[in-house]
Chain A
Amino acid sequence: MALVSADTKIAELLNELHQLIKQTQEERSRSEHNLLNIQKTHERMQTENKTSPYYRTKLRGLYTTAKADAEAECGILRRALDKIAEIKSLLEERRIAARMAGVYSDTDPPRKTMRRGVLMTLLQQSAMTLPLWIGKPGESPPPLCGAIPASSDYVAKQGDKVAARVKAVDGDEQWILAEVVSYNHSTNKYEVDDIDEEGKERHTLSRRRIIPLPQWKANPETDPEALFSKDQLVLALYPQTTCFYRALIHTPPHRPQDDYSVLFEDTSYADGYSPPLNVAQRYVVACKENKKK
């Protein structure tokens, strides 16, 4: 019932998205004309090597129109992206609802043991599709964008991915990738599920043991301050695993889709660090603890 209505909603949204995309293209083709004009004027000015007032005013006018166009284009693009985010959240809700329903019916445990490869692909995809933060001019990146930490009273929502410090059976503490199930305000504790094994025991942990993963990627071209810098100590997800380990940043990403290149602390190597490995922005968080095994 709920699932069906969700489907129709999704279909609706997809339609809207289609519209928006079409609009975007219209906008862009319109503004293209203007941009060409600017191009021509530039060329002329450069060849003649003279900036007469005539040119300047003309250029200024062109710039203003181009600016308006660009703003409009940005607006539409943002709406399109928001629409996509909306669809995605609906899908996510659907998934969680399905899972809950599945839990209550014992018959078919939902995707209990996923194959490793499948899990990894999922993780990869999730990292890739993390929305990129593109701020308007003058806006600064919000908390949980790239390296910007969450505000101190932030509570992770259901379905958020977090890094959780759990005590393994043998007493070892490890940071694992987990998904938030619920938060108990009176005790200030989270209930989280290990992403690897859904349906298995869930951990109840205090807030100190939970680090929310970033919800936006930081754009290196516009917001470099929201990225971790070289040699910063972080917790990064080891490739092909679901655990976080301490690492040093080797190189931050250059383009929005790039990954961090990090050096994991590894005593099996001579200098104590592994060779540089790539980890997506989504799976790199600040490391606050002091050296504890």
Chain B
Amino acid sequence: MSELKDCPPLKYYDFKPVDHVKVCPRYTAVLSRSEDDGIGIEELDTLQLELETLLSSASRRLRALEEQRQILTDWQDKKGDKRFLKLGKDPDLAASSRHSKPKKQKLDGKGSHGPGPGPGRPKSKNIQTKVQDFEFEVDPQDIPRNPKNDAPNRFWASVEPYCADITNEEIRVLEELLKPPDDEAEYYKIPALGKHYSQRWAQEDLLEEQREGARASDKKKSMMGPLSELDAKDVDALLKKSESQHEPPEDGCPFGPLTQRLLQALVEENIISPMEDSPIPDIPGKDDGAGTSPRSQGKAFSVPHTRSLEARIREELVSQGLLDSDERQGVGGESEDEVLAELQKRQAELKALTAHNRSRKQELLKLAREEMRKQELRQRVRVADNEVMEAFRRIMAARQKKRTPTKKEKDQAWKALKERESILKLLDG
């Protein structure tokens, strides 16, 4: 039963040969003739037609046989495979001239007979164009179209931006780039230092304390007139006064740092310590202008002397080569110097880079302009090429027509050639 289902769509063709007696009378007649009689020339045409008919039917028979045989072979090989194409009936293989009404059904010889298509299956050349019941059990897979070779297209597309012509647009962009940026000047400014943070903080602290004091006294008394007037201005004045009397030695020592170091190196014991201890920083609060009195009184040296001493020691050290002459600048120490130094270093770098970039951009602009000029020339060369080709074609046509080219044509050709030469020379030059 499975056999029945899997029955191959064999067509039981009517393999009857052409009945030549009926269809090919001349042929039959010739056959019956003896050798001597032979064939007449006038019979050739009819004979030809008849033989053609015979041949035609024989070839069709041949094709059908081949197909059927193939089906059988395939089926034998792949028994149980359900995927068979149902073939239509071939129109009558019997003498075609007799049966003018063919049983039409499309015969499809192509197809995938399961996994491996039968090799060398001749395609049935059957062609009745009316498609009748025609079942595909197999999905007619087209031969996968050759995968379009896309790679060259993609390659050229990617290379395109590098090889394209330079446009005016691009030149303009370059020029724009060259314009110095507006904010360049800003980068070179070294901002003013502004108030040192210690001072600022001191100021702020003082203010804060005053406010607190004011608030405290406010709580106690209602009036704190004179004290409350102690606003920032006065505080500043206070601070400044106290500062002016404090030279570098903030921790109280009137001697310059060099002096101190020198003495430290020379003296073993801590003779300076009482001197260090005695000056008590009395920044806040003292209304008295002579804020330095307690310190200076306990000293053997007078203040102006310490300064000159410091200076003299410095000079001596510098002349001995023990100390570099470059002064550390700025009140407040090293940190600011570093920042400034860094800032200046960066500024120098920026300047150098900008200069370099500018020079490069200018060069690029120059090259671009040059290239544009060349492009124009190349365009003209192309036009000249076309003219030369045109002249060539004209001369060839003239030659073909077996006449010599006219003077006009020759002149044209020469002109075109010379023009092209000149443009090329320009290009190279």
Q: List A residues at the B interface (Cβ < 8 Å).
A: 10-11, 14-15, 17-18, 21-22, 24-25, 28, 31-32, 35, 38-39, 42, 45-46, 49-53, 56, 59-60, 63-64, 66-67, 70-71, 73-74, 77-78, 80-81, 84, 87-88, 91, 125, 128-129, 131-132, 134-138, 187, 219-224, 255-257
* A59 with B62: CB separation less than 8 A: no
* A81 with B48: CB separation less than 8 A: yes
A274 to B90, CA, bound (A): 36
Instruction: Provide the main secondary structure of the chain B interface.
Output: helix
* B122 with A138: CB separation less than 8 A: yes
The 7 closest A-B pairs by CB, nearest first: A70-B62, A42-B12, A77-B55, A63-B69, A137-B122, A132-B52, A67-B65
Across the interface, which residues of B come within 8 angstroms of A51, CB to CB?
Answer: 3, 7-8, 10
Shortest CB–CB separation between residue A81 and chain B, in angstroms?
Answer: 5
A222 to B125, CA, bound (A): 5
Q: Is B44 an interface residue (CB 8 A)?
A: yes
Q: Is B199 an interface residue (CB 8 A)?
A: no
Across the interface, which residues of A come within 8 angstroms of B54, CB to CB?
Answer: 24, 28, 73, 77
Given contact pairs A42-B12, A66-B15, A18 touches B38 in the complex (Cβ within 8 A): yes
* B35 with A18: CB separation less than 8 A: yes
The residue on A at minimum CB distance from B6 is: A51
Shortest CB–CB separation between residue B16 and chain A, in angstroms?
Answer: 7
Given contact pairs A63-B72, A132-B56, A137-B122, A71 touches B62 in the complex (Cβ within 8 A): yes
A257 to B97, CA, bound (A): 10
Across the interface, which residues of A come within 8 angstroms of B293, CB to CB?
Answer: none
The residue on B at minimum CB distance from A41 is: B12
Shortest CB–CB separation between residue A78 and chain B, in angstroms?
Answer: 7
Across the interface, which residues of A come within 8 angstroms of B40, CB to CB?
Answer: 14
Given contact pairs A14-B41, A137-B66, A131 touches B96 in the complex (Cβ within 8 A): no
The residue on B at minimum CB distance from A46 is: B12
Shortest CB–CB separation between residue B198 and chain A, in angstroms?
Answer: 101
The residue on A at minimum CB distance from B7 is: A51
Within 8 A of A (CB), among B49-106: 49, 51-56, 58-63, 65-66, 68-69, 72-73, 75-76, 91, 96-97, 100
Given contact pairs A70-B62, A87-B44, A137-B66, A78 touches B127 in the complex (Cβ within 8 A): no
> 11 interchain pairs (CB within 8 A)?
A21-B31, A21-B51, A24-B54, A32-B17, A51-B3, A66-B65, A70-B65, A77-B55, A81-B48, A88-B44, A224-B127
- Which among B39, B68, B100, B122 has the greatest number of chain A C-beta atoms within 10 A? B39
A67 to B65, CA, bound (A): 6
Across the interface, which residues of A come within 8 angstroms of B174, CB to CB?
Answer: none
Across the interface, which residues of A come within 8 angstroms of B402, CB to CB?
Answer: 187
Given contact pairs A42-B12, A71-B62, A87-B41, A25 touches B96 in the complex (Cβ within 8 A): no
Across the interface, which residues of B come within 8 angstroms of A129, CB to CB?
Answer: 44-45, 48-49
* A56 with B127: CB separation less than 8 A: no
Q: Is B30 an interface residue (CB 8 A)?
A: yes
Shortest CB–CB separation between residue B58 and chain A, in angstroms?
Answer: 5
* A134 with B59: CB separation less than 8 A: yes
Shortest CB–CB separation between residue B379 and chain A, in angstroms?
Answer: 36
Across the interface, which residues of A come within 8 angstroms of B61, CB to CB?
Answer: 66, 70
A125 to B38, CA, bound (A): 22
* B58 with A14: CB separation less than 8 A: no
A223 to B59, CA, bound (A): 12
* A14 with B39: CB separation less than 8 A: yes
Shortest CB–CB separation between residue B51 and chain A, in angstroms?
Answer: 5
The residue on B at minimum CB distance from A27 is: B58
* A21 with B122: CB separation less than 8 A: no
Across the interface, which residues of B come within 8 angstroms of A221, CB to CB?
Answer: 56, 60, 91, 96, 125-127
Across the interface, which residues of A come within 8 angstroms of B10, CB to CB?
Answer: 45, 51, 59
A224 to B53, CA, bound (A): 17
Q: Is B423 an interface residue (CB 8 A)?
A: no
* B125 with A74: CB separation less than 8 A: no
The residue on B at minimum CB distance from A84 is: B48
Q: Is B27 an interface residue (CB 8 A)?
A: yes
Mask for B144-171, Cβ within 8 A of A = 1, else 0? 0000000000000000000000000000
Q: Is B339 an interface residue (CB 8 A)?
A: no
Q: Is B4 an interface residue (CB 8 A)?
A: yes
* B3 with A35: CB separation less than 8 A: no
Contact of B48 (CB < 8 Å), options: A59, A131, A136, A138: A131
Q: Is B377 an interface residue (CB 8 A)?
A: no
Contact of A45 (CB < 8 Å), options: B12, B13, B68, B129: B12
A219 to B72, CA, bound (A): 28
Across the interface, which residues of A come within 8 angstroms of B395, CB to CB?
Answer: none
* A22 with B31: CB separation less than 8 A: yes
* A38 with B15: CB separation less than 8 A: yes
Given contact pairs A60-B69, A129-B49, A222-B56, A15 touches B38 in the complex (Cβ within 8 A): yes
* A219 with B65: CB separation less than 8 A: no
Shortest CB–CB separation between residue A9 and chain B, in angstroms?
Answer: 12
